[in-house]
Structure 1
């Protein structure tokens, strides 16, 4: 008996099963289905036709309240879809499950570094904020029942930086703002403008939640090749605890509830899932920790 031949046959016969198992493991809840949410996809192009956005919409299976669903807009939507966990969605039934609008790009992977840098940072962030306010939000409000008094904007890393930029630019656009691991070092003007702020528009209230991992750092600024020596100096001047300092300053402003939390043992990448879980519960009106 040729045992080598038999072993080879067994191994190669098992490969399709292994591949199928891995494929199943890598599929998102939008593909496999959820007992608590159903998913739809919308596509949206920028006005100039150069940018192609993918909106993955998570709709609670529970019917909306008379005022509509709370709505949570999530940046880096491709990765947000990939990170969603069924037991997280199950927890939301104890509160008011939000409509989830995961704003990504029409790509195969989870990240597009060039597009997210363009949309979330620098002078071009203003154009993306306009897309969000004048194209994406009206589209969602026209197709789904949403409570416009309970809107959350969530982002991580460059996405967290954009959340803070949008807060300073259009503070009435959302009622709840969640900035995770915001890369304030990359765009010093956002930190500087935030620390110089003395008040938001009167007559409105807002909640700002900022979180970061204990093991997070930032790239060596001396090696940064994305700008001038002056820009590198400005980036270096942003303190390492900028997220905490900004949150503490925002908390002193009228009609603003702002807080900061550091998560022990978490690095930058791990904070995506941690902050996503926290944000989902917060948007549902639940305590952040189950």
Structure 2
């Protein structure tokens, strides 16, 4: 019998603060203070219709690139990633092969564009954002920097983690490593069917999937979604609290897929942004996720 993990599909819902990480402190970002290990550049990319303005903060290792090029790590919510990066983390990456960091954010003063990240990371419009990454952002990076296209990672937290999992199932060959932190499966759950996924997970390309969720995470009260239909509220309430773990177990059954789940003790949703960022950086450098 075909094995199915089914979590009812929902449409887009109003954005809640729950879906974002904690607001960053006022410490100046490394791009302003400088780093002994990385240099920083900025590229601007527009959506095909010219209405959405993206900011790519690029962190380039000062360590010489390997013959095959740098590993590359694409990070969603790039404005906040830039605010969360730490110099000691970047220094550790020199123990391995430090990755080129491509922080995909928005051309704004703050860390989050709540409306736009919802549009890009969730619902039917996320297909256009995935296409933008594949057809515009990646080519911009590949023409400017020496990168190893066999070592590409996509990282995201919350709605970004949800997008990572969506992109994995839609285009599993786009990256070799997928890191989803605190994916908001309660917001836009999906149905993951082995029959459907097996058709896409073909070929011999191995892939690594890491899913993390904090021990203290939960779902927002369904009552907060008073403008949702009763069907939506019922479907949201039905999403199991351990859906991230269940999904990791399901992905591990798919061909050429190393999928694991981790639940850091004592961490809530917002705290998981930096909690998941650190091991993902080490992983991208080819280092053990925990030193």
TM-score (norm. length: structure 1) = 0.89
Task: Encode CA deviations 1:41-74: one digit per residue, 9 max, x unaligned.
Answer: 0001111111000000000001111110000000
Q: Report the Cα offset of residue 252 of structure 1.
A: 1.3
Contact 1:168 1:194 in 2 (8 A): no
Q: Report the Cα offset of residue 253 of structure 1.
A: 1.3
SS in structure 2 at match of 1:179: strand
User: How far apart, CA to CA, are the structure 2 residues paired with 1:220 and 1:181?
Assistant: 17
The corresponding residue for 1:84 is 85
Contact 2:169 2:197 in 1 (8 A): no
Task: Encode CA deviations 1:99-126: one digit per residue, 9 max, x unaligned.
Answer: 0000000000001110100000000101
User: How far apart, CA to CA, are the structure 1 residues paired with 2:155 and 2:193?
Assistant: 18
- Greater shift after overlay, 31-40 or 214-223? 214-223
Distance 1:170 1:270, change over 3 A: same
The corresponding residue for 1:13 is none
The corresponding residue for 1:278 is 279
Contact 1:194 1:246 in 2 (8 A): no
Contact 1:214 1:266 in 2 (8 A): yes
Distance 1:167 1:217, change over 3 A: same
Mapping of residues 100-115 of structure 1, within 5 Å: 100-115=101-116
Q: Is 1:252 the equivalent of 2:253? A: yes
Q: Is 1:210 the equivalent of 2:208? A: no
The corresponding residue for 2:167 is 166
**Structure having the larger proportion of residues in helix:** 1
The corresponding residue for 2:192 is 193
Mapping of residues 169-180 of structure 1, within 5 Å: 169-180=170-181
Contact 1:69 1:145 in 2 (8 A): yes
User: How far apart, CA to CA, are the structure 2 residues paired with 1:158 and 1:140?
Assistant: 24
Report which structure shows greater RCO (CA 8 Å, sep ≥6). Answer: 2
The corresponding residue for 2:20 is none
Mapping of residues 133-144 of structure 1, within 5 Å: 133-144=134-145
The corresponding residue for 1:32 is 33
Q: Report the Cα offset of residue 139 of structure 1.
A: 0.4
Higher alpha-carbon Rg:
1
Contact 2:173 2:205 in 1 (8 A): yes
Q: Is 1:46 the equivalent of 2:47? A: yes
Return 5+ residue gaps in structure 2 as ranges. 1-24
User: How far apart, CA to CA, are the structure 2 residues paired with 1:252 and 1:179?
Assistant: 18
SS in structure 2 at match of 1:219: coil
SS in structure 1 at match of 2:39: strand
User: How far apart, CA to CA, are the structure 1 residues paired with 2:226 and 2:92?
Assistant: 44
Contact 1:195 1:246 in 2 (8 A): no
The corresponding residue for 1:94 is 95
TM-score (norm. length: structure 2) = 0.88
Q: Report the Cα offset of residue 197 of structure 1.
A: 5.0
Contact 2:202 2:255 in 1 (8 A): no
Return 5+ residue gaps in structure 1 as ranges. 1-23
The corresponding residue for 1:5 is none
Distance 1:116 1:25, change over 3 A: closer
The corresponding residue for 2:5 is none
